[in-house]
Chains A and B, each alone.
Chain A
Amino acid sequence: MRIALAAAICILTGSAAAEDTSQPLPPRQISWPFSGPLGTYDRGTLQRGFQVYKEVCSACHSLNLVAFHDLAAPGGPGFTLAQAKAIAAGYKLPADPDDRGEIFDEHGNRLKRPGVLADHFPPPFANEQAARANNSGALPPDLSLIVKARVGGADYVYSILTGFGHKPPKGFAVLANKYYNPYFNGRNISMPPPLNKGSVSFADGTPATVGNEAKAVTTFLAWASEPNLEQRHRLGFQVMAFLVLLSGLLFLTYRKIWKDKH
Chain B
Amino acid sequence: MAGQSTYVPGTALTRWLDQRLPILRLVNDTVTTYPTPRNLNFWYVFGAILAFMLGVQIVTGIVLAMHYVPNADLAFGSVEGRIMREVNYGWLIRYTHANGASMFFLAVYIHMFRGLYYGSYKAPREVLWILGVFIYLLMMATAFFGYVLPWGQMSFWGATVITSLFSALDQIIPHLGSAITTWLWGDFAVGDATLNRFFSLHYLLPFAIAGVVMLHIWALHVPGNNNPLGIDPKGPQDMVPFHPYYTMKDAFYLALFVLFFAFFVFYAPNFFGNPDNYTQANPLVTPPDIVPEWYLLPYYAMLRSVPQKLLGVLVLLGAILTLLFIPWLDRSKTRSCRFRPVMKKLFWIFAVDCVLLGYAGAQSADAAWHLGGMDLPLVWLARLGTAYYFAFFWVLMPLVGKLERPKPVPESIAQSVLGKAGESK
Which B residues are CB-close (under 8 A) to A236?
262, 265-267
- Interface status of B55 (Cβ within 8 A of chain A): no
- Interface status of A100 (Cβ within 8 A of chain B): no
Q: How far is the CA of A232 from the CA of B259 in the complex (A)?
A: 15
Q: Is the CB–CB distance between A149 and B279 below 8 Å?
A: yes
Query: Chain B interface mostly helix, strand, loop or mixed?
Result: helix
Q: How far is the CA of A261 from the CA of B245 in the complex (A)?
A: 9
Q: How far is the CA of A239 from the CA of B85 in the complex (A)?
A: 21
Which A residues are CB-close (under 8 A) to B318?
none
Shortest distance in angstroms between A250's beta carbon and chain B's nearest beta carbon? 4
Q: Is the CB–CB distance between B249 and A254 below 8 Å?
A: yes
Which A residues are CB-close (under 8 A) to B269?
232
Which A residues are CB-close (under 8 A) to B249?
254, 258
Q: How far is the CA of A262 from the CA of B263 in the complex (A)?
A: 33
Residue of A nearest to B153 (CB): A149
Residue of B nearest to A147 (CB): B278
Looking at the complex, which one of B244, B256, B278 makes contact with A149 (CB distance below 8 Å)? B278
Q: Is the CB–CB distance between B267 and A250 below 8 Å?
A: no
Which A residues are CB-close (under 8 A) to B92?
232, 235
Which B residues are CB-close (under 8 A) to A233?
266-267
Residue of B nearest to A250 (CB): B252
Given contacts A240-B262, A240-B263, A254-B249, contact A150 B255 (CB under 8 A): no
Q: Is the CB–CB distance between A243 and B425 below 8 Å?
A: no
Q: Is the CB–CB distance between B38 and A148 below 8 Å?
A: no
Q: Is the CB–CB distance between B259 and A257 below 8 Å?
A: no
Q: How far is the CA of A227 from the CA of B91 in the complex (A)?
A: 10
The interface bits of chain B over 255-294 (1 if a CB of A lies within 8 angstroms of the residue's CB, else 0) are 1101100110111011000011011000000000000000
Q: How far is the CA of A251 from the CA of B249 in the complex (A)?
A: 8
Which B residues are CB-close (under 8 A) to A148?
270, 275, 278
Q: Is the CB–CB distance between B251 and A250 below 8 Å?
A: yes
**Interface size class, chain A:** 35 or more
Which B residues are CB-close (under 8 A) to A260?
425
Q: Is the CB–CB distance between A65 and B80 below 8 Å?
A: yes
Given contacts A228-B91, A243-B262, A246-B255, contact A150 B275 (CB under 8 A): yes
- Interface status of A70 (Cβ within 8 A of chain B): yes
Shortest distance in angstroms between A95's beta carbon and chain B's nearest beta carbon? 22
Shortest distance in angstroms between A252's beta carbon and chain B's nearest beta carbon? 9
- Interface status of A93 (Cβ within 8 A of chain B): no
Q: Is the CB–CB distance between A65 and B248 below 8 Å?
A: no
- Interface status of B417 (Cβ within 8 A of chain A): yes
Which B residues are CB-close (under 8 A) to A262?
417
- Interface status of B77 (Cβ within 8 A of chain A): yes
Which A residues are CB-close (under 8 A) to B279?
141, 145, 149
Given contacts A153-B275, A243-B259, 5 further A-B contacts (CB under 8 A): A144-B81, A149-B278, A235-B92, A235-B266, A243-B262
